[in-house]
Structure 1
Amino acid sequence: MSKQIQHLVIKSKQDTIENQQRYQVLAELVEHILRTRKVCRPRPGHPLSGIYLEIYQTVQEQLNHQLEEDIDSPYLQMTSEKEWASWRDSLFKKVLDESRLQQLALEAQRHQPHSPERFYALTELLNAIKLSGKLCYRGKFSPEVYDDAVNRTLYYVYQNLNHYNQAKGKFIAWVNYRLDKMLQKAQQDLNDPFIQAQSGKIVRIKYQLNALIKSTKLDSVIFWITLSIKGLIIDKTQISNVTKIMMVLLLLSQLIAKDRTKGDSLVFEMAKASLPFSSNFSELTGESMTIETVAQPETELTLYDQLRYYFKADPEKLLQKHIKNHPSATLQVIGLAYLDGKKWQEISDSLGIKISSLNNFFQRNIRKLSPEIKRYIEEELG
């Protein structure tokens, strides 16, 4: 994605390009940025419609508007896919307000359980909840407990969406009420030696299954079947059982190679099912194959990524202040150089400014802006 985007960015900045051509290039740029979006993705064989189309078009319009306004801004100097994705997701985050989340929930309720339409709508809903930033904050709970509680909550929503009653309140309030309960439960489970012991058993069994899967090769399966056909293995029950096991292991290895997340989830479920009380344990932990496949946690940006994005995008236009008589020595330029690992001497040489002047200017202004930068990162990128 990144190379194509950079090509379009360069093309849009060409002085010779006509306005109409620029609009077309920007429209194509927006299309590329949205191509890897996490929500409002069309169901195979069906165009976007209803609330999904409305959300998509709103974000599309905002992207177009911002790109037209900031054609020469640092937005268009982003180089990594993560930075472009973070900018796109921040717009989705603003658009996915309580009203739209409620509409997504009601749309999912409208479909019959276990239908393809219901599965699609629930997938969109859960991804939208995660992206919206509307879940209650972690507070005193550890990241481990919070992530566990969020997964349990999303699974609860997936299983019990029809329990939500619009007449009794807002959808996101209903979700956060459940999340609060799940946080308490997850904290209790973290300290429960019985549950921790069983979790350890599942992890060990999963590890053993993975080892078996990795060691199962197509050649081995063919060799076993050949021996069976030639009658070199007498026990027919053994032939049947071993063949089935080898075929399952081979299919699992192919699934893991194609989609690691789904493969690992399935192996986890197999490991969990091997325990004699697996159904009860599922209720205790809230783990499930469904939530693993429907609501995968996204890799979050590190603090470095967030800071670098902020300095590149300068979303609140606070970083354009510069050293007196040196208009190119802005907070943004100095900050990006510093974040890129350049030493003060290198920055000094490139800008032709004394190290002491650079350092004093940067430190003095960053101290003033720190609260604003922190607030933006927590609210928009956190």
Structure 2
Amino acid sequence: MNPIDERLKQLAREAQRHPPKTPQRRLALAKLLSAIQQSRKLTRPYQGQFQGFYEDIYDEAKQRLFCHICEKIDDYDPNREVLQWVNFLLKQRFFIEASRTILPTTPKGIDPKKVSRLTLDDLDRKTCNELNPQLNPSLSQDVLQCLESDPEGVFKGTYTSDNPAANFQFLAIKLLSGYSWKEISEELGIKISTLSSFYQRCLTKFAPKFREYLS
């Protein structure tokens, strides 16, 4: 067994030795999670899929994994390597759960694995159709200007969760500026799944409006 695996196993056993919710167990768990992160051996499943959303899904999956480790450390079998245990959970359970949370629904006919979140840098390098050929309209620099001007106030006036701050104009401009769903969710206090679903519906709803403005 290599030193990393041995260290992780020692920390897991140390956490198991202490009763739940005790300071000793919390300390051991904190050290265990830190060591897992520092090992740089956490798997990154399904790379190349979920373009533009992958990092959000991966961060959510890691949070769920770490919460599970803290709550279910007694389920760990010391006969297994810790990384084998956590990587199995991350790939087979928590990444899948996180992807369903962040991409619960997409408009009919759109493959969520091929949807990209655009940034201003992307728009400088590629045309809109190259980035998101399935979305009509694709977000572009012209669309960004359209969003900001919002001649009829429809983008700002369309919002979710009874929160005027969570409007389509705000979300679209944030995403174009490179913010992640996680960052936007924390700023608004609204779940990622709610915001993502609302945003996808708005893309379809406002497609005719974008074509009208940009024609």
Name whichever structure is richer in helix by fraction. Answer: 1
Largest Rg, 1 or 2:
1
Same fold (TM over 0.5): no
TM-score by length of 1: 0.26
Q: Which has the higher contact order (CA 8 A, sep 6+)?
A: 2
